[in-house]
Amino acid sequence: MEQLIANFPKQLEEAIEIGRATKLNFNGKIFSNVVVSGLGGSGIGGTIVSEIVSEEATTPIIVNKDYFLPAFVNENTLVIISSYSGNTEETVNAMQQALEKNATVACISSGGKVIEIAKENKLQYIVVPGGMPPRSCLGYSLTQLLFVLNYAGIISNRFEKELEKSIALLNKEETRIRKLALRVAKKLYKKTPVIYSATGFEGVSIRFRQQVNENSKMLCWHNVIPEMNHNELVGWVDKNKKLGVVIFRNSSDYSRTQSRIENNKEVIAGCTSTIIELFSKGKSKLENSIYLIHLGDWISLYMAQLRKVDATEVNVIDRLKGALSKI
C-alpha cells in the first residue's frame, strides 16, 4: 500500500494519457442528467468529481451507490458505470437497469463483467490497469470520470491543465506531505477520528474516512459545515479524550463557513484538545481536493503502521463477498 500511495502522482499522469487516448463519441447528444454508479473505492471518485465540477456543469450529476437506479433515469440520462474490478454486483445490477431504461451507458473498469457487457452491447468504455486494490486506484477513476463528462459535453477540458498542476504540486510537496502526515498520524492513531470539511469538499472527507476504515482498520465519522451546525454541534458537550478532530480547510471556503469553523473549534475544544486543521494547497478546487486526498491517504497508512496492522488486507469484505456468492 505504501508504494501504491507513493505512485499516486504517476497514476494521475498515466490516467491522463489513457483518457486522451480513449476517444468517446456521444454524437452531440444533450443529456438531461448524469448518474455515476459505483461503490467503495470505485464510487468515491464520482462523489469527488460531482463536487469539483458543480460550479461548471449545468447538467445535474448524482452519484448512485446501490443495486438500483433512480426512477428518473431514462433515454436522456447518461449513466457512467464505475467498477474497478468490473464485478461489483451492485454496480453490475445497476448497469443492467440502465440498459433496460435505454439510458446512454459509458463504463470505466479494468475488465470483468462490466467490460464484457459493454462489448456485448457495443457501449463506450475506458479500460484502466487492473490488479490493485480499488481504493488505491482513485487516480484512474477520478480522471476518467472527468474525461467522460468532457466527451459528453458536460464540462470543458479545463480539468486537464488543473490535473497537470495537481501532479506538479504533489511532486513538489511530497516530502512535506509525508512529514505532516506522520505528525498527524501520531496524534490520531489511538483516537477515534472525527472529520469535518466545508460543503463542497465532503468527498475529500468521505475518502479519508474510507481510508481510515480500510487502511488503518479504525472506525470514525465525518460531517460537513454548515450542516453539522444544525445538529451534530449540539452533541459536543462531554469531555472525551479519545476523540480526535480533523478539519479539512481551504482558503476558498465561503467566508461565513470559515467563521462557523472558528466558532466550532471553540465549542469542540471544551470536549477534546485534539483538533487538527489541514489546509489545502493549489489554486483550483481540483488541486485543493487532490492535495488533501493524498495527504489523507498518507495519514491512514501511517496510522496503520503505528497500529501494526496490514493496510492492504480487507479480509472481512472478502468474507462478505464469499457469503453473498453462495446465495
Whether 115 is in a domain gets the answer yes
Distance between alpha carbon 187 and the CA centroid of its chain, in Å?
24
Where does the pLDDT of residue 150 fall: very low under 50, low under 70, confident under 90, or very high at 90 and above? very high
- Residue 38, pLDDT above cutoff 90: yes
Residue 289: closest CA among 180, 203, 168: 203
214 labelled catalytic: yes
Residue with cell 454508479: 37
What mean pLDDT comes out for the span 202-230?
Answer: 97
d(CA 278, CA 266): 17
Return the CATH number at 195.
3.40.50.10490
Total Cβ atoms within 10 A of residue 89: 14
- Residues 228-275 have pLDDT tens digits of 999 999 999 999 999 999 999 999 999 999 999 999 999 999 999 999
**327 is a domain residue:** no
The answer to whether residue 131 scores a pLDDT higher than 90 is no
Does 288 score more than 90 pLDDT? Answer: yes
Q: Based on the fold, state whether residues 214 and 282 are members of the same structural domain.
A: yes
Marked catalytic residue, from 55, 120, 122, 230: 230
CA distance 13 to 164: 8
Looking at the 3D structure of the chain, how many domains does it have?
Answer: 2
* DSSP H/E element including 20: helix 8-21
User: Are 133 and 43 contained in the same domain?
Assistant: yes
Same structural domain, 144 and 243: no
What is the reported pLDDT for 246? 98
Q: 147 and 181 share a domain?
A: no
- Three-state secondary structure of 121-173: CCCEEEECCCCCCHHHHHHHHHHHHHHHHHHCCCCCCHHHHHHHHHHHHHHHH
Q: Residue 278: inside a domain, yes or no?
A: yes
Domain range enclosing 77: 2-156
Instruction: List the beta bridge partners of residue 82.
Output: 108
Name the 3-class secondary structure at 51.
helix
- Supply φ then ψ for residue 257, to 5 degrees: -65, -40
Angle between helices 138-151 and 8-21 (to 10 degrees): 30
Catalytic residue among 90, 214, 285, 294: 214
Residue 142 and residue 208 in one domain? no
Q: Which three cell numbers stand for residue 244?
A: 480526535
Q: Is 194 helix (H, G, I), strand (E, B) or coil?
A: strand
Q: Of the residues 99, 122, 156, which one is the last residue of a structural domain?
A: 156
Residue 189: Cβ within 10 Å count: 20
Share of the chain above pLDDT 90, in %: 92
Whether 222 is catalytic: no
47 and 16 co-located in one domain: yes
Tell me which of 122, 156, 190 is where a domain ends: 156
Instruction: Tell me, yes or no, whether 180 and 152 share the same domain.
Output: no
Q: Tell me what pLDDT residue 253 has.
A: 97
Do 50 and 113 lie in a common domain?
A: yes
Evaluate if residue 324 carries a pLDDT over 90. Answer: no
Single out the residue in 94, 125, 156 at which a domain terminates: 156
228 and 113 within one domain: no
Rounded CA separation 201/126 (Å): 26
User: Does 319 reside within a domain?
Assistant: no
Residue 312 lies in a domain: no
Decide if pLDDT at 188 tops 80: yes
pLDDT at 129: 92
pLDDT band at residue 50 using 50, 70 and 90 as cut-offs: very high
**Residues 114, 6: one domain?**
yes
- The answer to whether residue 187 is catalytic is no
SS3 at position 241: coil
| 284 has pLDDT over 80 | yes
Assess whether 200 and 284 both reside in one domain.
Answer: yes
CA geometry: angle 15, 16, 21, nearest 5 deg:
100
pLDDT at 207 over 80: yes
Whether 170 is covered by a domain: the verdict is no
- Is residue 96 in some structural domain? yes
Q: Is 138 in the same domain as 271? A: no
Is a pLDDT exceeding 90 seen at residue 315?
Answer: no
Cβ atoms 50, 206 nearer than 8 A: no
Question: 42 or 114: which carries more pLDDT confidence?
Answer: 114
In a domain, 65, yes or no: yes
CA geometry: angle at 162 spanning 20 and 46, to 5°? 75
